[in-house]
Structure 1
Amino acid sequence: MPYLDINGQQYEAKANFKFERKANEHYKDPNQEYSGLEKIYQDLMSYKISALSAFWDCATAHYKKKQPTVEAIEDALADIIEGDDVEVEKLFQDAFQTIDNSGFFKLQLREFWKNVNMIDKMAKDDDEKEQALAAKEMFLEKREELNPTK
């Protein structure tokens, strides 16, 4: 599991019940069917910086009284991102792999990937099928990029 140094304290990321609860409470888009977890997961695949903040906010939810604030998380991430020695891609890989390899979300993510693999079969015409195949290929490439062991 990855760690993030926030104000001199090491925080371990955990993808568990508390992660999912916080993701649904704070990051779920009410206009979408997918969960807060899936939103963060997809945003990590899109390399959205806000996804790193959301990930760490949820991944530190198991620290009951000592959970860092979103502002403290963002400050810690900004220090890393602005540094010369650390690659931003590693932050995304660590966050994505924490979710992707989590036993807690194994079945949920299996369903997510089944749906991705079926996206082209649900297309109504050739144009939709072409777009669906491109989206499917993009999802699969991003997963391979962020978690080569899967």
Structure 2
Amino acid sequence: MATLTISKKDYEAKPSFAFLKHADKQYGTFNEQTGKLENGLINILTGLVGGDVTFLPAFWDSALAHLAKGKPSLSEIETALEERIDQDEDTEPLLKEAYKVIQSSGFFKKQVREYWEAFEQAKDFGKTDEEKAENKMMYDRMMKSKAEIEA
């Protein structure tokens, strides 16, 4: 399990209902049909797979949402991440750890499986040859990113 040292205390990332609720509320996309913020987990997952370090604070903010009292602030999380990045001299270990928590969690298993299945299906979609080529290119890029983060 992934841990992050914040103010000299180790915190463990926890997949949970609190994670999902917090991710939707803080990092979700507005759905006009439902009038709700949704897909926070998927947005974080996509960011991590894409190597976007700005999703590391989102991941940790959500992964610590189960802590009713004493939850570190987003600013404290960002400071701890910066310290870890300086220590590791790289962001890759943090991205891989966060992805592994999501990918290997029984709690998120169905959502992660459906996420990758959607990419598999999308690779052949498109009305025109150009759209099909673009979708195939996007699929190839995501599979390359997936292989890199899982390595």
Work out whether the TM-score is over 0.5.
yes
* 1:71 corresponds to: 75
- 1:59-110 per-residue CA deviation (whole Å, 9 max, x = no partner) reads 1112110111000000111112233x44310000000111011101111111
How many percent of aligned residue pairs carry the same amino acid?
34
Give the corresponding residue for 1:121.
124
Question: Which shifted more, 14-23 or 25-34?
Answer: 25-34
Moved more, 5-14 or 42-51: 42-51
Distance in 2 (CA, whole Å) between partners of 1:50 and 1:31 is: 22
Measure how far apart 1:46 and its partner are: 1.7
Structure 1 residue ranges, 4+ long, deviating more than 4 angstroms after superposition? 31-34
- How far residue 111 of structure 1 moved from its aligned partner, in angstroms, is 1.2
Change in Cα spacing, 1:109 to 1:133, as seen in structure 2 (3 Å) is same
Output aligned runs, 1:129-140, within 5 Å: 129-140=132-143
Structure 1 spans left out of the alignment, 5+ residues: none
Match of 2:4 in 1: 4
- Give the structure 2 partner of residue 38 of structure 1: 42
Aligned to 1:106: 109
Root-mean-square deviation (CA, aligned residues, Å) is 1.7
How many residue pairs match? The answer is: 147
